[in-house]
């Protein structure tokens, strides 16, 4: 399995981090660290490396992020994550599975929302009170079940980006 390489969604989330992360003395967790682009962006905006944590299901991605100097472990979403964080960042696999693409780094399950729903269900257990989560979603992501769960939190779209065949959204979710 290759490491997920940054694409439009990755750069869009990185830009939002640069724009919206104001507090520098925070603990941060990135779920699905992949290439480490968001970990590096968090460091670049002034968060100390010892306060930045990452995880990924891909062992190669974990090793790559460690080589970049970040704390990173192999974990499926929150399965091996202990503690609570001030900020959680997630660019999930958000596309519905189809016959051409069944890769776990891009498809979020048969409908496309399964991975995101698992994440949202566990979010409260790992986000500090008044903590924030930046969650990237797509117009291709089925939102009906996700919106049902988001009603339990304060959430709003903080950034939008139109691409050729989809629109990307970054939600800020507050516990």
CATH 3.10.50.40 for the 26-174 domain, yes or no: no
Q: For residue range 151-169, list pLDDT tens digits in order.
A: 889 999 999 999 988 999 9
Q: Residue 145: what pLDDT? A: 87
Q: Residue 140: what pLDDT? A: 84
Token duo for residue 17: 């981090």
Three-class HEC string of the chain: CCCCCCCHHHHHHHHHHHHHCCCCCCCEEEECCCCCHHHHHHHHCCCCHHHEEEEECCHHHHHHHHHCCCEEEECCCCCCCCCCEEEEEECCCCECCECCECCCCCECCCCCCHHHHHHHHHHCCCEEEEEEEEEEEECCCCCHHHHHHHCCCEEEEEEEEECCCCEEEEEEEEC
Q: Which of the four pLDDT bands, split at 50, 70 and 90, describes residue 142?
A: confident
Q: Which of the four pLDDT bands, split at 50, 70 and 90, describes residue 98?
A: low
Domain boundaries, the chain: 26-174
Q: Which of the four pLDDT bands, split at 50, 70 and 90, describes residue 113?
A: confident
Q: For residue range 25-84, list pLDDT tens digits in order.
A: 999 999 999 999 999 999 999 999 999 999 999 999 999 999 999 999 999 999 999 999
Q: Please give the Cα distance from 2 to 105 (Å, whole number).
A: 10
pLDDT higher than 80, residue 120? yes
Average pLDDT over the chain, rounded to an integer = 90
- Helix 37-44 to helix 8-20 angle (10° resolution) is 20
Q: Residue 77: what pLDDT? A: 96
Q: Residue 110: what pLDDT? A: 57
Q: Residue 101: what pLDDT? A: 47
Q: Residue 143: what pLDDT? A: 86
pLDDT higher than 60, residue 22? yes
């Amino acid at each position: 399995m290759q490491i997920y390489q940054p694409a439009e969604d990755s750069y869009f989330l990185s830009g939002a981090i640069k724009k919206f992360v104001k507090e520098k003395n925070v603990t941060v967790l990135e779920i699905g660290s992949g290439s480490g682009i968001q970990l590096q962006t968090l460091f670049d905006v002034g968060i100390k490396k010892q306060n930045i944590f990452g995880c990924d299901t891909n062992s190669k991605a974990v090793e790559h992020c460690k080589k970049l100097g970040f704390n990173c472990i192999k974990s499926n979403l929150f399965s091996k994550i202990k503690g609570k964080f001030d900020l959680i960042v997630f660019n999930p696999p958000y596309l519905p599975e189809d016959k051409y693409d069944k890769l776990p780094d891009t498809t979020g399950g048969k409908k496309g929302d399964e991975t995101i729903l698992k994440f949202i269900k566990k979010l409260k257990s790992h986000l500090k009170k008044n903590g924030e989560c930046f969650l990237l979603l797509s117009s291709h992501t089925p939102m009906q079940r996700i919106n049902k769960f988001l009603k339990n939190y304060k959430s709003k779209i903080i950034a939008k980006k139109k691409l050729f065949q989809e629109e990307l959204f970054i939600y800020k979710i507050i516990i």
